[in-house]
Amino acid sequence: MSSTVSYTDDDIKSLSPREHLRLRPGMYIGKLGDGSQNDDGIYILFKEVVDNSIDEFIMGAGKTIEITIEGNTVTVRDYGRGIPLNSLSAAVSKMNTGGKYGSEAFKKTVGLNGVGVKAVNMLSSSFMARSVRDGEAHTVWFAQGLEQREQWESGVNEPNGTLVQFTPDEKVFGPYQYNLEYIETTVKNYTYLNTGLVVKLNGRSFTSKNGLLDLLNENMSEEPLYPPIHLSGEDIEVAITHGTGYGESYYSFVNGQHTTQGGTHQSAFREAIAKTIKEFYHKDYDPSDIRTSIVAAISVKIVDPQFGQQTKVSLSSTKMAEDGPTVRSFILDFLKEHLDNYLHKNPSTAEILNKKIVENEKERKAISGVQKKSKEMAKKVSLNNKKLRDCKIHLNDLKNDRREESMIFITEGNSASGSITKSRDVQTQAVFSLRGKPLNSYGLTKKVVYENEEFNLLQAALNIENDMDDLRYNKIIIATDADVDGMHIRLLMMTFFLQFFPDVIRQEHLFVLQTPLFRVRNKKQTIYCYSEEEKQKAIAKLGSNPEITRFKGLGEISAEEFREFIGENMRLEKVRMTKDDPVHDMLDFYMGKNTYERQGFIINNLRIEADYVEDLL
């Protein structure tokens, strides 16, 4: 008897745009998520709505945008021209409908495809749009993309503009929560890129007078070596300085969109900086010596920009406009003129920059011999590398649709790495096994990365020796036991990245895996708990004396159970670094040689803990 599954006309389905979007939301907004990561779908919905208000500001209509987030409901009110009243319903509900298709009403905007706000509507349990134009108003209400009712008004005493209110649908997203810190970062970026714009978030006002200069000053976690260079021209603005660490840090934008994965403009910017500075000093400096420890931002405005994905995180356009210069030549020409002029007019900055480049060159040459030997070692070991269990899809597989799902778990010991290896998705999840506690790298030079076998092999696995362009995994996840030793290993690994590869953190690739502390179960249900509070709720839910297991280490969790924690239900804590984080001071205190001072800190905090336990008893 044949086991072939039947395939008939009944199997052919035709979905409406709304049905397709709700069935396959990832094709339109990327991943869903629960709001714990700043690229989760609910933040894409937020941006799609606000982007339209930003476009109004760019066109000279409306200098203020008011945003309110109450629970899971978002309200955005701008004071632009207002959507034409008769077209309001279609503009927010019919796919591929909008005012940006070859229209002179919008130039150099982000929302060009007529999908954005429609996706918000169809993925929201409730959605309302209201437009006011010259005393007339039209309001429409929707539920899951289906129009419920509308209202027309005359003689209204309201300023022109558009109001959109929506609540993302939990039937699509599952339980979620907005993180206002992520929203605030997005709002700040809007103001940096649109000087003079005022954005009010839950009553708090944000604005910027100095554009990308404000962005650099806000985001640098150390004092710059020299005052940031701030240059602007038609359709371009840049800010450039250097710090003291390793790596390169870039903030790149296209038409106000934060291109977190760079693209053609960022690549051209990196090339142009190196080329201009080499020509200014009349020295054949290595580009890596020029760019090491650079912190820079670039914003360009392009007619009809093309992005690598619907979520617009990487620019793929090669030209500024259909009949304009290439992105590369435009940026090269701009920096060749304006950066060169700036350095001639500011010799003190030029002197500091040159000294930094020379220092970078000396360090690079000092480790070149060790580097060569380490490369040979890494190649030999990688042929039979027991530390790395690789996956099949990587972040630098540019043509693979699942590339952003790629991740690597850095874990301790054979038992833990064995459990993760058995339960992982071999397509997108790799495992790197540490041998005990890694070296404390605080205060050491990058030479140690090549001399230490474990660090060298990890660097080779990540493919980040020279820069971040060829990083092989989108998420680098530290997975250690939830005990003192595990916490120590976690800190040692964070120190390694902070010291030598801070871009991994700046570009939001480093995470810590949260694993459950308890398993609470009865004959019908199992609940995994990540805190004492969650355990108590699980006990109350299951009742009748459920079985409670306290996990002491990752090695105790079976491969079958691990599949629960590193799949769709994976909890990750992002390692973040901002200007307000005293990175150097923290590393010096926690990882430095001040043993007695740190010992006193530990003893004092242990006493507090002991008093707390005594009170409980």
pLDDT over threshold 70, residue 324: yes
- Segment 433-458 shows an average pLDDT of 83
Lowest mean per-residue pLDDT among 155-159, 187-191, 378-382:
378-382
For residue 165, list its beta bridge partners.
75, 128
- Segment 592-609 shows an average pLDDT of 63
Q: Which residue has the higher pLDDT, 75 or 604?
A: 75
Strands 229-233 and 236-242: antiparallel
| CA angle, 250 then 297 then 354, to 5° | 80
The rounded percent of the chain whose pLDDT value lies above 90 is 40
Cα–Cα distance measured from residue 458 to residue 478, given in angstroms and rounded to the nearest whole number: 12
- Which tokens is 347 given? 């010799």
- Which tokens is 301 given? 């405005």
pLDDT over threshold 90, residue 435: no
Fold category of 212-365 in CATH: Ribosomal Protein S5; domain 2 (3.30.230)
Q: Which residue has the higher pLDDT, 118 or 450?
A: 118
The number of beta carbons lying within 10 Å of the beta carbon of residue 566 is: 23
Q: Which residue has the higher pLDDT, 186 or 4?
A: 186
Lowest mean per-residue pLDDT among 14-18, 108-112, 324-328, 440-444:
108-112
The number of beta carbons lying within 10 Å of the beta carbon of residue 82 is: 25
Could you tell me which residues come within 8 angstroms of residue 377 by beta carbon, excluding any fewer than 6 positions away?
453, 456
The number of beta carbons lying within 10 Å of the beta carbon of residue 169 is: 20
CA quadruple 206, 211, 216, 217: dihedral sign: negative
pTM over 0.85: no
- Segment 140-150 shows an average pLDDT of 94
- Which tokens is 536 given? 């108590």
pLDDT over threshold 70, residue 401: yes
Lowest mean per-residue pLDDT among 94-108, 207-221, 525-539, 590-604:
94-108
Lowest mean per-residue pLDDT among 57-71, 322-336, 402-416:
402-416
Spatial strand order in the sheet of 518-521: 526-529, 518-521, 547-550
Mind listing the pLDDT tens digit for each residue in 199-246? Answer: 999 999 999 999 999 999 888 877 899 999 999 998 899 999 998 877
What beta strand segments (E) does 449-506 contain?
A: 475-479
- Which tokens is 160 given? 């022109």
Q: How confident is the model at residue 384 (pLDDT cuts 50, 70, 90)?
A: very low
Mind listing the pLDDT tens digit for each residue in 239-286? Answer: 999 988 777 888 999 888 888 778 889 999 999 999 999 999 999 999
pLDDT over threshold 60, residue 100: no
pLDDT over threshold 60, residue 129: yes
Average pLDDT, the chain: 83
Instruction: Identify which of 212, 227, 217, 312 has the alpha carbon closest to the alpha carbon of residue 269.
Output: 212
φ/ψ (deg, to 5) at 148: -105, -45
Lowest mean per-residue pLDDT among 7-11, 186-190, 476-480, 558-562:
7-11
pLDDT of residue 584: 62
Could you tell me which residues come within 8 angstroms of residue 405 by beta carbon, excluding any fewer than 6 positions away?
393, 427, 428, 474
The rounded percent of the chain whose pLDDT value lies above 70 is 84
For the domain bounded by 368-515+555-581, which CATH number is listed? 3.40.50.670
Lowest mean per-residue pLDDT among 267-276, 464-473, 531-540:
464-473
- Segment 313-327 shows an average pLDDT of 81
- Which tokens is 609 given? 């803990």
For the domain bounded by 17-206, which CATH number is listed? 3.30.565.10
Measured in whole angstroms, the distance separating CA 155 from the mean position of its chain's CA atoms is 45
pLDDT over threshold 90, residue 503: no
pLDDT of residue 611: 43
pLDDT of residue 371: 64
Mind listing the pLDDT tens digit for each residue in 330-339? Answer: 999 999 999 9
- Segment 131-159 shows an average pLDDT of 94
Strands 475-479 and 407-412: parallel
Ranked by mean pLDDT, the top range of 54-58, 188-192, 598-602 is 188-192
